[in-house]
C-alpha cells in the first residue's frame, strides 16, 4: 500500500502531537517536513538546532521514498 503525501503529513503531525509523558511535552513540538533529500540538512539545520537547544521536542517528517540513493556512491 502506497502512502499519499497528504496521508504522510497527517500521520506525521498526529504522531508528533502524541504525549510522551516527559517534561518536553509541556511545549508544543517543532515539526519539520522534508520533502526532498537533504532538505533537513541544507535548509533546516539551524532551526532544528535552535529548537533542540531550547529544549523543544523535534519531529522530522521525511517525505521521500529514497530515490537517487546512488548519489552517495563516489567513484574514484
- 35 domain-assigned: yes
Could you give the CA distance from residue 40 to residue 38 in angstroms, rounded to a whole number? 5
Q: What is the mean pLDDT of residues 14-28?
A: 61
The owner of cell 537517487 is: 68
Q: What is the mean pLDDT of residues 14-39?
A: 72
Please give the grid coordinates belonging to residue 9.
503529513
What pTM was computed for the model?
0.55
64 — phi, psi (to 5°)?
-130, 155
State the residue range of the domain holding 52.
1-15+28-66
Per-residue confidence band for 71, with pLDDT thresholds at 50, 70 and 90:
low
Q: What is the pLDDT of residue 62?
A: 85
Per-residue confidence band for 68, with pLDDT thresholds at 50, 70 and 90:
low
Q: How many domains does the chain have?
A: 1
- 3 domain-assigned: yes
Could you give the CA distance from residue 14 to residue 20 in angstroms, rounded to a whole number? 13
Amino acid at each position: 500500500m502506497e502512502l499519499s503525501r497528504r496521508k504522510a503529513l497527517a500521520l506525521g503531525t498526529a504522531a508528533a502531537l502524541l504525549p510522551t509523558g516527559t517534561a518536553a511535552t509541556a511545549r508544543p513540538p517543532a515539526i519539520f517536513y522534508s520533502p526532498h533529500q537533504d532538505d533537513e540538512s541544507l535548509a533546516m539545520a539551524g532551526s532544528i538546532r535552535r529548537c533542540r537547544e531550547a529544549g523543544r521536542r523535534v519531529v522530522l517528517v521525511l517525505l521521500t521514498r529514497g530515490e537517487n540513493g546512488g548519489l552517495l556512491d563516489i567513484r574514484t
